[in-house]
Chain A
Amino acid sequence: MTVAAVHGGGIADHIHPEPQSFIRRYIFSIDHKIIGIQYIITGFVFLVLSGMLAELIRVQLMHANGGLVSNDTYNEIYSVHGSAMVWLVIIPLVTGGFGNFVMPLQIGARDVAFPWLNMLSFWMFPVAGLMLFSSFLIGAPVAGWTEYPPMSLQAGPGTSMWCAAIFLIGVSSTLTGINFLVTILKMRAPGMTFTRMPLFVWAQLATAPLSMVATTALAAALAALFIERQFGVPFYDPTKGGSPILWQHMFWFYSHPAVYIMILPAFGIISEVLPTFSRKPIFGYKMIAFSSVAIALAGFMVWAHHMFTSGLAPFLQLPFMILTFVIGVPTGIKIFSWMATLWGGKIHFTSSMLFAIGFLALFTFGGITGILLAAVPFDFHVHGTYFVVAHFHYVLVGGSLMGIFAGTYYWFPKMTGRLMNEFWGRLHFWLFFIGFNGTFLPMHWLGILGMPRRVPVYDPQFQGWNQFESIMSFVMTLGILIFFANLLVSIRNGKKGGANPWNARTLEWQIPSPPHYYNFKNIPAVYALPYDFSEPLPYTGLENELTDSPAPATAGAH
């Protein structure tokens, strides 16, 4: 790609003045950095809310006969907990949040390709979140985040609200996918070829098409469910000629790729944090980058492994099983490359690094149990049990959420100019890590021995382990509370971090913290990968960034 092709067309240097009013600056902002922070704040608010729902679940399960809430209320609680964690916490944080804030800075762009669309995407998110949580007022959905019909056809009116809310957040996610894809393809700084992009950008590049394509299948499924519930058109009701299995296919055709929407950006975060704090180039850059793409592609071909027991034709089970095993290979390559990145490093155990290393262990564990679940004969035994609950919490909490914490400690100084407290950060890590394993590790054997998921009461023989899990979940929650306290205090009182507190080498660290409205005074040119600690920085055009020279001239309003 020539320099002119990237730089031309007046895209990169079409400068508008920075808006001055509070509302245009901080509420309806079109600045990707502000929007990213808005996503992160909103996502964290929903993390607190659905975390509280999680604790209600754990308190209910302290006793085999339940007792905290009624069965129906319990079903509402875990359904909203799951839906909110997936669609209002993990996906918006890793794409809309970190993707928005970090990705344009890392490719040397002034903003995303479609800033107004970006603002629209963001504002759908809190609206969808309020709709989802307000469904509690009219009878929230009860059939879990998967909402299988016919159960979801019979449940209260909140299920229709759920359809509308998830549809809306899906539209937001699709638009963000389009926005990021165009941004990465068209707006990289001159010289930033595909093989010089930071790995976080590669991760977003692999994720964007997933958000764009897969989410449309979910939208269709949701629209059909909504229409059937409100107007009685029988898509799914078998007594009227519909098929409940149709929903499962459409739902998982989205929701399996959605797993990768949730984990690939976290892979990207880890791939930035590990080399920075090991003072080493990332090991096997190309293999990590290409394996993200391989995982994203293969992620479209494995959805029915969620449906082995639901009546798939037996011979159809085999390709889905084997393709799922195959995904283990690129995932393994990533894990081994991260491991090798640590070898020979000068490792600095910042909070961010602790979470990245913890991620490696927990994600490996969750990945392995994923391979176990993919084996059809073993899946016949553990499908629909706590083993599955344990597996996806290792991947989504031990994986994605740990990645989000690593990313927060890492980029907080870039967002605010201040550092988070390291002591409380490390305490957060250890409480969270121990509490997490204590909560979710026993679920593996509970599932194997006979505890089904989504139950408000259970066989008393499992009560001991459930009490242990509940207590450990309080430890995990304590860690998260410390994190939020640390975050809030550090915004005002954190130590000043300067432009580059970690000695990191990607582009976002070469400009002031927080960056100017238009990110770069001059768009830099890129000469090599960012990860070579022994070399000078591979950029030119950044000489004025940390000086008092004026910001770029503006073209004026028009």
Chain B
Amino acid sequence: MVEQRDPAVKLDRGFWIVTAVLAVLSICGIIFWYAVPLQHWLPESAQPADQVDALFAFMAATSTALFVFVCGYILYFSIAFRARSTDAPDAIGVQIHDNHKLEFWWALIPALFVILLSVLSVKIWWGIQIAQPNNGMVLEAIGHQWFYTFRYPNVKGEVPDEMHLALGVPVTLHVTSSDVIHSFWVPTMRLKADMVPGLINTIRFTPSAVGTYKIICTEFCGTQHGEMNKQTVVIQSKADFDKWYQATQAAHANMSDALATVSTGAINLAGGDAAAGQQLFSQKCSACHAVGPFSQRIVGPGLKGVLDDPAHPNLVDGDKATPADVAKILQNGFKGDLGVMPNQAQNGLSDKDIANLVAYLASLK
């Protein structure tokens, strides 16, 4: 190929005026991202959140400057160098091919920027992944279709609904799942970990602001993935947390001993308490089962009249359903065409819980 000698490039005054305007716009953008940081729109509730926000501010500010220059020049060149009606139809542009000095700089500057961004990101990554205190309270969060449960040291079984944390006490949170992949995201903490069955992922943080904050599932996990955003993290003062912790500990000590006594034989259904069963139903069953006719399906069928209504197909052994059949399903779980009903252990039900639930279901007529 014949090397072409390009005509000398001379940038006119318009170019420098536009460059100055774009520089001013960029500086405005940079000021904006630092004057109105992310926490202005989304409060922070845990310690590494401020570092994430600092990284975001840096990236948003530099990106804004870059984007303003790219788009500004594109717009300016498009206007300044448009073909005009006075041009000859075969008019051509300035025949330049290359400018090695320019190309060197616009490769070097992004490369230097990548190094800077890498250093900054690694530093903040270190603060989140490595430098978090290791001596905190160790908790577990477990994802289920479609709710979270939590385990605390010396608290029997799993705590439903809210995850209580103490202000300023570092937390090591292990997350996992009992069924499919879920994710544990608290936007105000800027932290997320996928809950993968068979795997334990860990995040560490220190709660930094009293309040109630949403936990949101961000990995698709089935029919009601979109509704898996109702539970909250409750950050309390140390004194309030201790009060809650002791009360929960006591309540759970007297309550079910689910994991310890998962049964294999027939369950004794005598003395089932329908009222206790109703409360359990709302915690453990209502995500998938409605209290309505068989045809009213969420994931599993509606359970009204499960023992009496002929609309319900025969359950386990082909005969009319009996309380013992229902108890067997609660004990062993069930695989339906839309999803899997967890078994006794996965649901955290004691034998007594099952007896209560069967009593409650039998009362639905």
Contact = CB atoms under 8 A, between A and B. Distances in A.
Interface string A350-369: 00000001001100110011
Contacts of B71: 361, 364
Interface in A491-528: 503, 528
A423 interface: no
Given A195-B1, A452-B217, A503 B63 contact: no
A45 interface: no
Interface residues of B, number: 87
A244 B180 CA distance: 9
Interface in B35-61: 38, 41-42, 48, 51-52, 55-56, 59-60
B73 A326 contact: no
Contact of B181 (A244, A322, A332): A244
Contacts of B73: 339, 342-343
A547 interface: no
A309 B183 contact: yes
Interface in B60-98: 60, 63, 66-67, 70-71, 73-74, 77-78, 81-83, 87, 90-98
Contact of B199 (A195, A286, A311, A314): A311
A329 B111 contact: yes
B33 interface: no
B227 A457 contact: yes
B70 A281 contact: no
A244 B143 CA distance: 15
Interface in A143-163: 143-144, 148, 150-151, 154, 156
Contacts of A361: 70-71, 74
A345 B78 CA distance: 9
B187 interface: yes
Contacts of A369: 63
Given A280-B96, A335-B70, A384 B218 contact: yes
A314 to B, nearest CB: 4
Contact of B55 (A328, A378, A458): A378
A196 interface: yes
B4 interface: yes
B74 A357 contact: yes
Interface stretch (B114-122, B151-159, B244-252, B304-312): B114-122
Contacts of A529: 1
B97 A283 contact: yes
Nearest to B79: A347
Contacts of A488: none
Given A328-B110, A375-B55, A384-B185, A452 B96 contact: no
B191 interface: yes
B339 interface: yes
Contact of B197 (A71, A244, A340): A244
Interface in A140-197: 142-144, 148, 150-151, 154, 156, 193, 195-196
A37 to B, nearest CB: 31
Contacts of B291: none
Contacts of A360: 70, 74
A232 interface: no
B122 to A, nearest CB: 6
Contacts of B338: 72
A380 B1 contact: no
B173 interface: no
Interface stretch (B125-133, B160-168, B347-355): B125-133
Contact of A281 (B97, B129, B198): B97
Nearest to B87: A346
B313 interface: no
Interface string A326-342: 10110011011101101
Interface string A190-233: 00010110000000000000000000000000000000000000
A326 B111 CA distance: 7
A432 interface: no
A21 interface: no
Interface stretch (B99-107, B231-239, B259-267, B270-278): B99-107
B2 A345 contact: no
Given A321-B118, A329-B107, A380-B52, A151 B222 contact: yes
Contacts of A106: none
Nearest to B119: A322
Contact of B94 (A287, A344, A348, A532): A344
Given A279-B92, A339-B74, A459-B229, A453 B218 contact: yes
B327 interface: no
Contacts of B129: 314, 317, 376
A196 B83 CA distance: 28
B257 interface: no
B237 to A, nearest CB: 25
A371 interface: yes
B180 A150 contact: yes
Query: Which one of B78, B217, B224 has the highest number of Cβ atoms from chain A below 10 Å of its Cβ?
Result: B78
A371 B227 CA distance: 31
A555 B196 CA distance: 63
A68 to B, nearest CB: 14
A268 interface: no
B103 A450 contact: no
Contacts of B325: none
Contact of A383 (B192, B222, B224): B192
Contact of A151 (B4, B66, B201, B220): B220
B190 interface: yes
B1 A528 contact: yes
B205 to A, nearest CB: 11
Contacts of A195: 1
Nearest to B179: A150
Contacts of A372: 56, 59-60, 63
A261 B187 CA distance: 33
Nearest to B111: A329
B218 A377 contact: no
Contacts of B185: 384-385, 452
A380 B2 contact: no
A75 interface: yes
Contact of A148 (B130, B190, B217, B219): B219
A328 B221 CA distance: 33
Given A310-B194, A321-B118, A503-B90, A377 B124 contact: yes
B67 A365 contact: yes
A138 interface: no
B51 to A, nearest CB: 7
A238 interface: yes
9 contacts: A72-B223, A143-B220, A281-B96, A321-B122, A326-B114, A329-B110, A357-B78, A365-B67, A371-B117
Given A325-B121, A375-B117, 16 more contacts: A151-B180, A151-B221, A244-B197, A285-B97, A309-B194, A314-B130, A321-B125, A322-B118, A325-B114, A342-B81, A346-B83, A348-B83, A349-B78, A375-B59, A376-B129, A377-B121
Interface of B: 1-2, 4, 9, 38, 41-42, 48, 51-52, 55-56, 59-60, 63, 66-67, 70-71, 73-74, 77-78, 81-83, 87, 90-99, 102-103, 106-107, 110-111, 114, 117-118, 121-122, 124-125, 128-130, 179-181, 183, 185, 187, 190-194, 196-199, 201, 214, 216-227, 229, 337-340
Interface of A: 66, 71-72, 75, 142-144, 148, 150-151, 154, 156, 193, 195-196, 238-239, 243-245, 278-281, 283-287, 309-311, 314, 317-318, 321-322, 325-326, 328-329, 332-333, 335-337, 339-340, 342-349, 357, 360-361, 364-365, 368-369, 371-372, 375-378, 380-381, 383-385, 445, 448-450, 452-459, 503, 528-529, 531-534
In order of increasing CB-CB distance, the 8 nearest A-B pairs are A238-B198, A384-B218, A455-B226, A344-B94, A280-B93, A345-B93, A342-B77, A533-B92
